[in-house]
Amino acid sequence: MKNADILVLDFGSQYTQLIARRLRENGVYTELLAYNANLDEIKAKNPKGIILSGGPASVYTKDAYFCDAGVFSLGLPVLGICYGMQLMAQHFNGSVEPAKHSEYGKAKLKLVNKHALFDGVSDDSVVWMSHSDKVEKLPQGFSVLATSENSQNCAFGDDERKFYALQFHPEVAHSEFGAMILKNFSKICGLSSTWNMGSFAKEQMKILKDKLGTHKVLCAVSGGVDSSVVAALLANAAPKNLVAVFVDNGLLRTNEAKMVEEMFKLKLGVELISIDASQIFLKRLKGVKDPEKKRKIIGKTFIEVFEKEAKKHEGIKYLAQGTLYTDIIESSVAGSSKTIKSHHNVGGLPKKMKLKLIEPLREIFKDEVRALGLELGLSREVVYRHPFPGPGLAIRIMGEVTKERLELLRKADVILREELKSSGWYNKTWQAFCVLLNVKSVGVMGDNRSYENAVCIRVVDASDGMTASFSRLPYELLENCSRRIINEVDGINRVVYDISSKPPATIEWE
């Protein structure tokens, strides 16, 4: 188990993962644990500081969340954010009460005195609030560090024990000096900016080499950046142990299989075994409409195909895959957040597997994976490909997956990518794809009535995939995409554009 510089105990806030993101950006390795992690699990990570996240509960209600009280007896600096602040106040016999008015959005921070936690932070800077409770009375030993218009105890602390609390969320971009405040807390913990993708690569390659020994590892590759980086790590750490396998599940984009094979051979120099398993995947998905069932069927079938291939090679003990921290969080394997969707490589895996998992990227986010890929010498073309989900087009088809519906979606998707690349917008966006909706609409084509399928275009901007906003594409570009899809793809007569952000929506539709 890797040590963490700072541990974040997750009380269910939608912003929790951003705390880790901001600290990692400053070179401080940070991990999330569920709020109810036992003290031994916390100690095993050997942290230098602990952060208590925000959350949706109230500390004075029956459904309140509480961490192990021993957290405050470890002799470590502790920072409480929003709910974490209120929990700290109540634990030390302060007073937490419902606020007269809930406070959401921007507020001005008024600094009371100079303090290390606010070093470099301007007075009257903007911070982001999201709470309906407030600390009315401070616990003994704590003093006010900052106020806001609606909160006399907006920030407080106890320098002797190095316990600090913030009513606002420093982790969100709306808090002007939020990243600086988190960096200052890491300095209070005695930490410096030493963690980066170079050190991560060296550490992971040593771990992989020691773990594999003489055993071989089957690396599941899709052609996406995640699996490509895993393959590159293994190729650098233990090239003789690597068996790279690509499975065509019949849910890929046009010419995807050929592109993946060429990329691994020509750009990565890794020998690739290709398996066409499209028939079995499509057979098992027949009649299935529920997105969670789709993901679980796909995850289970992938494992069966990999295990069957592993029997053909002597000494394969492990299965390596490109699971990211994002997948772990959204599948509710880390922290206390609710399951958003079961990623095929996490919640979609069968409970019993013959192969043991190796997931060297499970502690890092997508942008960190890309930085790692460049560190390992992968080309920018490979590293900055738009993400493509493991379940493929199955989760971009609303309802049942059939060969006919797959073909419609593939044709529309090709047009979208062509238009984005020719206009220069492909590299300006995080991800772009089409979704085949499970509705039909009336149209007029060639003076005749049509009743055909509708397609949704989804293009987003993001940094790590945990949050995203829709891309403001030029109307002319959207018009070209719509015109070409309707004119060139028989069976589609309507195109719409998705302008929702994540949250509340997810990037993929299923």
DSSP string of 114-127?
Answer: --GGGTTPPTTEEE
Q: Which of these three, 135, 165, 189, is where a domain ends? A: 189
pLDDT, residue 330, reads 63
Same domain membership, residue 179 and residue 231 = no
Residues 270, 293: one domain? Answer: yes
pLDDT for 364: 86
Helix axes 197-212, 225-237, angle to 10 degrees: 60
Q: Which residues are annotated as a binding site for ATP?
A: 222-228
Q: Is 504 part of a structural domain of the chain?
A: no
Q: Is 53 within the bounds of a domain?
A: yes
User: 236 and 178 in one domain?
Assistant: no
Residue 282 domain-assigned?
A: yes
The residue among 351, 384, 417 that closes a domain is: 384
- Domain assignment present for 509: no
Beta strand pairing status for 49-52 and 78-81?
parallel
Domain membership flag for residue 72: yes
Q: How many domains does the chain have?
A: 3
Reply yes or no: is the peptide bond before residue 77 cis, omega within 30 of 0.
no
Separation CA 503–CA 193 (nearest Å): 30
Determine the Cα angle at 92 with ends 91 and 95, to 5°.
85
- 146-177 in b/e form (b: 16+ CB < 10 A) is bbbebbebbbbbbeebbbbbbbbbbbbeebbb
Which residues, in sequence order, are bridge partners of residue 247?
275
Q: Supply the pLDDT for residue 350.
A: 56
Cα–Cα distance for residue pair 115/85, rounded to 1 Å? 18
**Residue 99 in contact with residue 150, Cβ under 8 Å?**
yes
CA distances from 211 to 14, 206, 214, 320, 356 (A): 35, 8, 9, 12, 11
pLDDT value of position 422: 97
Considering the domain architecture, whether residues 33 and 103 belong to the same structural domain is answered as yes
- Class of residue 140 by CB neighbours under 10 A (exposed 0-12, middle 13-18, buried 19+): exposed
Q: Which residue has the tokens 């932070």?
A: 121
For residue 467, what is the domain's CATH number?
3.30.300.10
The catalytically annotated residue of 91, 115, 131, 169 is 169
Q: Which residue out of 171, 256, 452, 510 is catalytically annotated?
A: 171
pLDDT digits (tens, 9 = 90+) for 32-66: 999 999 999 999 999 999 999 998 889 888 888 99
User: What is each CA distance from 233 to 44, 206, 265, 369, 417, in whole angstroms?
Assistant: 26, 10, 16, 11, 29
Binding-site residue ranges: 222-228
DSSP state of 257: H
C-alpha–C-alpha distance, residues 50 and 46, integer Å = 10
Strand arrangement, sheet containing 49-52? 30-34, 6-10, 49-52, 78-81, 163-166, 151-158, 143-148, 95-111, 125-137
User: What is the pTM (predicted TM-score) of this model?
Assistant: 0.71
Question: Which of 144, 161, 189 is the last residue in one of the domains?
Answer: 189
Residues 164 and 221 grouped into a single domain: no
- Residues 64, 118 share a domain: yes
- Sign of torsion, CA 287 292 298 303? negative
Asked if residue 508 is part of any domain, the answer here is no
Q: Are 179 and 202 within one domain?
A: no
**Tokens, residue 502:** 């994540």
67 is catalytic: no
Summarize pLDDT for 158-173 with one digit per residue, the tens.
999 999 999 999 998 8
328: nearest Cα among 250, 239, 240, 226: 226
DSSP three-state, residue 388: coil
The yes-or-no answer on residue 169 being catalytic is yes
Per-residue model confidence (pLDDT) at position 229: 93
Side chain identity at residue 340, one-letter code: I
For residues 337 and 258, membership in a common domain is answered with yes
Residues 318 and 434 in one domain: no
Low-confidence ranges of the chain (pLDDT < 50): 1, 333-348
pLDDT above 70: percentage of residues in the chain: 95
Per DSSP, the three-state class of 104 is strand
CATH number at 105 reads: 3.40.50.880
Residues 85 and 167 reside in one and the same domain: yes
- State the residue range of the domain holding 70: 6-189
Whether 484 maps to a domain, the answer reads: yes
237: in domain? yes
pLDDT digits (tens, 9 = 90+) for 279-291: 999 999 999 999 9
Query: For residue 425, what pLDDT is reported?
Result: 97
- Distances in Å between the Cα of 314 and the Cα atoms of 237, 411, 510 are 20, 41, 38
Question: In terms of domains, do 374 and 420 share one?
Answer: no
Q: What is the number of other CB atoms lying within 10 angstroms of the CB of residue 311?
A: 9
What CATH number did the domain enclosing 364 receive?
3.40.50.620
Q: The tokens of 133 are what?
A: 């409770």
* Shared-domain flag, residues 326 and 210: yes
β-bridge mates for residue 356, sequence order: 318
pLDDT at residue number 261? 87
Give dist(CA 391, CA 254) in Å, integer. Answer: 15
